[in-house]
Structure 1
Amino acid sequence: MAMEAEKFGSEGKLWSICKMPFWQSRNAPPPSSSSSSSSSSNLSSMHNAHQLSRIHESVERPTLYSPSTVSYVAKSLLPVRRRLRLDPPNKLFFPYEPGKQVKSAVGIKNTCKSLVAFKFQTTAPKSCYMRPPGGILAPGESLVATVFKFVEPPENNEKPVDQKSRVKFKIMSLKVKGEMDYVPELFDEQKDQVVVEQVLRVVFLDPERPTLALEKLRRQLAEAEAALESRKKPPEEAGPRIVGEGLVIDEWKERRERYLAQQQVEGVVDSV
């Protein structure tokens, strides 16, 4: 019995040794209550730190998006490629003449390799209008549009340089396929393809003070007026020239009639 007890005692010692961590010595004293509390607090702090790190990773981890959402975000970050080149690029210069309707001009050029439709919009359609209000430009084609605006009389004896207009003008563009006539409904039918090219703000110029901007405005207005007059002229028709009520002048027929008339005169003279 003593041998069995000794045997069990030795086995118990072996079992306790196996349960001890490898970094503890064989003869280490049993942990006190203070060391147990400190180890438990260390474990608690380690657990809290691990939880905080997981929360931090979940916050900083990028959210997974669908391919369509990623492409949309990428497109929104890219700069918008302009289809039209405007001159001036972001302003409309008007001569300051209170109580009168004045004119401005803006050059529009298609810089794409396809047909582009453009359209004007204004926040004051009752006092402003554009000519032409819209159209379709071929690749590389350009025109000068005229903008008309009524200038309100000044308030509180303000000077022309102090006058500020709240009216805004917007130019939109739309790519079109194939030859077609311009209709404003094109922009309503394809809203998702419409691009706002530029929002133009109004700048007043003193007509009595020569400036480069005023000189350029007058050149553009003269160019727009000349283009309008050329469009009003009827196209020249090829073929015989028509005079009066459908009289066709034919050079060969005219020569033949003169020759017959001369023969008749000569015949009358010979008979006499």
Structure 2
Amino acid sequence: MTADGNNQLISVQPNDLKFVFELEKPSFCDLKVVNNTEHHVAFKVKTTSPKKYFVRPNTGVVQPLDSSVIRVTLQAQREYPPDMQCKDKFLLQSTVVPSNTDVDDLPADTFNKDGTREIQECKLKVFYVTPSTRGNSDDEGFKSYPEKGTDSNSVSLNVQHLKDERDAAVRQTLQLQQELQL
């Protein structure tokens, strides 16, 4: 696998994080991570500003040809950034893992660049938008899906999108329940 974009282990949608910025209010952006391979792929999310963001899950294993949703939450901020510009960045690392690997069983060195395994990286920039420039609510989350239409192709895409969201929510709920039990 090469990192030329066509042979990526995973693809991420959207490819930028956009947060509606309001003082004293948290904001979130969902990332959909799609495993493009027949292998199990582990991922890890890193950021240049870990105190500003809450990422769940920040590590995980995506089944072959499946997807996972990562929710990135911008914590409530007390002041506006200069010119509403954000220099924060996120790094999504991915690597192939054995098929029986559970997220809790990932070795601590899974994402170390020691040359023993290939680690692919995807960089994501952060943008702040004001509530007035947000437009309609379709701007949040999964905007790469086509607009709702009446042709059967877009209806089936929307149904698949809803199924993907439901499955991701169920997986996330199960994972949170497991974390609570620990």
TM-score by length of 1: 0.47
Q: Which structure 2 residues correspond to residues 1-272 of structure 1 after superposition, within 5 A?
A: 79=4, 81-89=7-15, 91-150=16-75, 151-154=77-80, 162-182=83-103, 183=106, 185-188=108-111, 191-192=114-115, 193-211=117-135, 214-217=137-140, 223=165, 226-227=169-170, 228-229=172-173
Q: Give the root-mean-square deviation of aligned CA atoms.
A: 3.2
Aligned residues: 151
Q: SS at the partner of 1:100?
A: coil
The separation in 2 between residues aligned to 1:186 and 1:141, in whole angstroms, is 24
1:210 CA displacement: 4.5
The residue matched to 1:215 in structure 2 has which SS? helix
Higher relative contact order structure (alpha carbons within 8 Å, sequence separation ≥ 6): 2
Paired residues of 1:170 and 1:196 also in contact (CA < 8 A) = no
- Distance of 2:142 and 2:99 partners within structure 1: 33
Structure 1, unmatched stretches of 5+, are 1-74, 235-272
Q: Which has the higher strand share?
A: 2
AA aligned opposite 2:135: T
Partner of 2:41, secondary structure, is strand
Q: Contact 1:82/1:197 (CA < 8 Å) preserved in 2?
A: no
Give the Cα separation in 2 of the matches to 1:218 and 1:189.
Answer: 30
User: Which structure's residues are more often helix, by fraction?
Assistant: 1
Instruction: Point out the structure with max Rg over C-alpha.
Output: 1
Q: For residue 145 of structure 1, what is the amino acid of its counterpart? A: I
Change (3 A) 1:117 1:229: closer
* Aligned partner letter, 2:128: F
Structure 2 residue ranges without an equivalent (≥5): 144-161
Q: Percent identity?
A: 23
